[in-house]
Chains A and B, each alone.
Chain A
Amino acid sequence: MNPIITCTDLTHHYGKRLIYENLNFSVPEGRILGLLGKNGTGKTTTINILNGYLKPSSGECTIFGENIRQINPITKQRIALLIEGHVQYSFMNIEQIERFYASFYPKWKKEAYYELMDLLKVAPRQRIANMSCGQRSQVALGLIMAQNADLLILDDFSLGLDPGYRRLFIEYLREYAKSERKTVFLTSHIIQDMEKLIDDCIILDYGKILIQKSVSELMDTFKKFTFKISDTRISLPADEKFYNPAVYRGNGELFSFQNMEYVKQYLCKHSIEHSQLKSEKLNLEDIFIGLTGKY
């Protein structure tokens, strides 16, 4: 599959603070890729760089093969953008904003927008500024769907949404992206939603990419191992194949892509007396915590 987005050796600093260094990733055509990470790991920075709102310290990004700093307006027509917090022209009403955007995009689908607006139960002349956060998110989503772009870039789409609107947004977006073969690159704080939405994920840690995999592969191979330890003063030695090993009140836990045999050998090698060694599959949120830690 052709990569729609490619970032090569991307490095960015805010002043002296390094956000990340030599980041390399690509987003294949027709996939929904989620960029996950704790606060401050550079998710919105990446989105800003991709949209040309931020000049990276070094490195290069391309979208549809064009350098994002000199992107052609015709190519821009193929990219839909959702800004963090579903920001839109709140001084317009839902009719005015549709009329405004329609003239910029040749593949504009007015029906897609009004189909979603019909669910909102707001007056056509109601200003966006007077809508709830959930309603505003639907306006933003409706505009993205009407634009009928080939690539959708969504920055923290779940921000401020209650569970109902989050679910509505995800279901609409997933169904739309899959049926129309759209490529989606998104970020979100709420990982539990992403499981139902994304095909692939990149997990960012401070300064680097921790992992880039398909969600199904990640959920099949990444496990949590738990065991009981009689000596409560013991701490688990570091091992490059384990993520966040910890002991709390005699309960040991660690996360890994390795199998049970590897864990047994590790415990044996370090003479850690244990019992009730178990492995369990995790949901995406637990995988995220397992990889990045709780703190």
Chain B
Amino acid sequence: MIKAILYKEWIKTRYLFLLAAVILAAFTAYCQLRIGKVVSLRGAAHLWEILLSRDNTFYEPMRYVPLFSGVLLALFQLVPEMQQNRLKLCLHLPLPQNKIIGIMLGFGVSLLLALFVVTYLIIFLYLNPILAPELICRVMLTMLPWYVAGIAGYAFVAFAVLEPTWRRRLLNVLAGAAFIQIFYLSSYAEAYNQVIVWLLIITLALVGLSFLSVSRFKDGVQ
């Protein structure tokens, strides 16, 4: 039964998954071309200097890409469930309601994490021969809040889409926008090192807000 739910979620999201993978790959490639250009024109030492002395990590164009991916994934996955109240079909399945919703949301978060981990891995493999481990770490820690923002975007769009009333939907979107803004308050490198673990824990816990929306849907709130 779990496999069947995952199959349904995959049917809805597979094209978006491919699109998100292409966009992430394109942006990663673009950022790495910028790094490659600096290395070929001025040498790796100049790259080290920029990374150490300025807040430029060369991956800034990717800032909003994970967020964009998370928002789009939630829309592609959950809007079809709410069109014509199709969520009723899902809740009628012979499984506990929270388990069904948990599997759906777990699928979405896993898909995002898979995309993000692969991107991270590509960046690591690319930087490994040209940068010291500390500098690779600096780049990756600077980018980490953007990826957590991607999961937060997914969590809040899911919270809003699964909500049955438009008024609450709007409030959920506003709450989401306020929370996500936290991830973009500072553009300094490694600015979030002290809080990123907590932000990640809070973000993962916020995925659970969607259960509240489904519960309201189930009570027939209009």
Contacts and interface: CB of A to CB of B under 8 A. Distances in A.
Contacts of A85: 84
Interface stretch (A91-99, A201-209, A242-250, A271-279): A91-99
B4 A100 contact: yes
Interface string B181-222: 000000000000000000000000000000000000111101
Interface in A146-195: none
Interface residues on A, range: 20 to 34
Interface stretch (B88-96, B145-153, B168-176): B88-96
16 contacts: A51-B88, A52-B91, A53-B218, A54-B219, A55-B220, A74-B94, A77-B94, A83-B89, A87-B86, A87-B89, A89-B8, A100-B8, A103-B1, A103-B4, A104-B4, A105-B94
By secondary structure, the A interface counts as loop
A100 B222 CA distance: 30
A73 B92 CA distance: 9
Given A54-B220, A100-B8, A103-B1, A88 B89 contact: yes
Nearest to B96: A73
B94 A53 contact: no
B92 A81 contact: yes
Contacts of B7: 96, 99-100
Nearest to B90: A89
Given A85-B84, A100-B4, A91 B12 contact: yes
A53 B11 contact: no
Contacts, number: 70
A96 B11 CA distance: 9
A267 B3 CA distance: 70
Contacts of A73: 94-96
Contacts of B84: 83, 85, 87
Interface of B: 1, 3-4, 7-8, 11-12, 80, 84-86, 88-89, 91-96, 217-220, 222
B40 to A, nearest CB: 46
A99 B6 CA distance: 12
A229 B1 CA distance: 68
A48 interface: yes
Contacts of A102: 4
Interface in A48-101: 48, 51-55, 73-74, 76-77, 79, 81, 83, 85, 87-92, 96, 99-101
Contact of B1 (A51, A54, A99, A104): A104
B93 A83 contact: no
A14 interface: yes
Contacts of B8: 89, 92, 100
Nearest to A77: B94
A52 B218 CA distance: 7
